[in-house]
Amino acid sequence: MGIEIERKFLVRDDAWKRGASGLRYCQGYISRGSGATVRVRTRAGQGFLTIKKHDGEITYMEYEYEIPHTEAQEMLAKICVQPLIVKDRYRIVVEGFVWEVDEFMGENRGLVVAEIELEHPEQVFPLPGWIGPEVSGDPKYSNASLVSYPYSRWQE
């Protein structure tokens, strides 16, 4: 079983962008019920199918499988709930820890979040100056939630 321990934060400013380069991700959801999701994702000419279930405040069971890129694109267009999540993901190393910063596009434009994967829930890690408030426990920041309630509608 794959276990993911992940904490998520808002980003204060653009200081993280210095020297960063990102990859475009496109992802959609086939299923989002009972605390579990089935996701299709493309990045850099690759396709992935992921099954993920919330297993605690910051822990998830996660199974990810590479699938043909053309099949992933077809599933995104014909099977996944719309709108799709489109984002640029940047990997930034800070004191040996890898932060993934997601800058969202489309209906979620303006939202920027940073995630860090940990080895155990109590692991101590450095907080870069550009990190803002933690949103790990807030479901509205999950990618699966952003499909049905995009960031652009939060002010309505």
Catalytic residues: 29
Number of domains in the chain: 1
- Give the pLDDT confidence of 17-71 residue by residue, as tens digits: 987 889 999 999 999 877 799 999 999 999 999 999 988 778 889 999 999 999 9
Output the pLDDT for position 1.
57
> The domain containing residue 62 runs over which residues?
3-153
The β-bridge partners of 100 are: 91, 115
CB 5 within 8 A of CB 121: yes
pTM check: above 0.85: yes
CATH, residue 61: 2.40.320.10
Q: Considering all CA atoms of the chain, what is the largest pairwise distance in Å, rounded to the nearest integer?
A: 42
